[in-house]
Amino acid sequence: MLVLGIETSCDETAAAIVRDGREIVSSVIASQIATHERFGGVVPELASREHLDKIVPIVEEAFVRAKIGTESIDGLAVTVGPGLVGSLLVGVSYAKAMAFALKKPLVGVNHIEGHIYSVAFENPPVEYPALALIVSGGHTNLFHIPEPGKYKVLARTRDDAAGEAFDKVAKMLGLGYPGGPIIERLAREGNPRAVKFAIPRMGDGLPDFSFSGLKTAVTKHARESGLQPVTNGGVPSQGIKDLAASFQSVVVSSLVGTMERVAKEYRPRTLIVAGGVACNGALRAAASDAAKRLGVRVYFPSLHLSTDNAAMIAAAGTVKLQAGESADLDLNADVTLRLQNIDLEDEARKRAGVRYRL
């Protein structure tokens, strides 16, 4: 089965053609980093306008690289949420028009579910049950996946997503955008124990994430230590490097520590770490160490599939199309779309071994 995937949820315009959900025939991604860099973050209006300019040539290029015509695909998959509404609408509108013109089935895909499927291309098949840690600029969630297509949120961020915290700390220190790669690079030259930051924990005992307080602690330390933001492309001081390393260390410890604690309860056979922040080498190393302690496999997408791309959307969409799903042409963007379809109380009863009747 050949599926065209389209992704326009934020600031990448992407199209990909995937065979049977596991082989990338072609993948094209147009990044908007240069557009948003001077603002220190994504400007929604500019993002949607750039998607409008690029969606047609990007999809056309995907077919050119695949060396096939549009009539050769068996279906289409498009991101419908969550994301920026203006950006999402560009992809959804284009996909609906194309599906109508070609008389091909169309399915909407949750962007976060796409990230889970980003590990499908270069890893063995996932063994279930699985735990998936999805970490990006807009999302930080930990999912229990007892079987394909079934999801339960075990932990989510209470405030900033991890990637958003990287961007905001980098901006505060004058390091530029996007913040994740810059902080990771500086952290290699810094001391992760130089600044003592507490690992954020929830007062109610839930395994949720929180990075807003850590961001405030970074700001306070910089002010009290007299650290000046880098200006005009200057060389970061050792103090900035140590601060970057200490900040990154706490973020990674929070993410991996929570995943490991939850894994001891749910006993997954596979760990998945995906999303843009999964490009971070320190996170990959820590997650790999945790997997060894737990005695399970951990899967990461390759670096170019960790950030937003359309191949992962096509992979997730393939499963839906193979199951006979098809969206009507009233399909719309949903910025609040969530990925959870397991009844929490029902699952708790099953785990407790309680017999019950429906």
What is the rounded distance in angstroms from the CA atom of residue 33 to the CA atom of residue 22?
A: 28
Q: Could you list the pLDDT tens digit for every one of the 358 residues in the chain? A: 999 999 999 999 999 999 999 999 999 999 988 889 888 889 999 999 999 999 999 999 999 999 999 999 999 999 999 999 999 999 999 999 999 999 999 999 999 999 999 999 999 999 999 999 999 988 999 999 999 999 999 999 999 999 999 999 999 999 998 999 999 999 999 999 999 999 988 888 899 999 999 999 999 999 999 998 998 878 999 999 999 999 999 999 999 999 999 999 999 999 999 999 999 999 999 999 999 999 999 999 999 999 999 999 999 999 999 999 999 999 999 999 999 886 544 555 454 443 322 2
pTM over 0.85: yes
Q: With the CA atoms of 227, 230, 236 and 241 taken in that order, what torsion angle do they form, in degrees rounded to the nearest 10?
A: 50
Domain 125-300 -> CATH class: alpha beta
Residue with tokens 């199309």: 321
Indicate the pairing of strand 75-81 with strand 140-145: unpaired
Domain segments of the chain as ranges: 2-117+305-322, 125-300
CATH classification for the domain delimited by 2-117+305-322, as one of 3.40.190.10, 1.20.120.1200, 3.30.200.20, 3.30.420.40: 3.30.420.40
The span from the CA of 2 to the CA of 20, in Å, is: 6
Asked, colleague to colleague, whether 2-117+305-322 and 125-300 share their fold, the answer is yes
**Structure tokens that stand for 105 in this block:** 């089935």
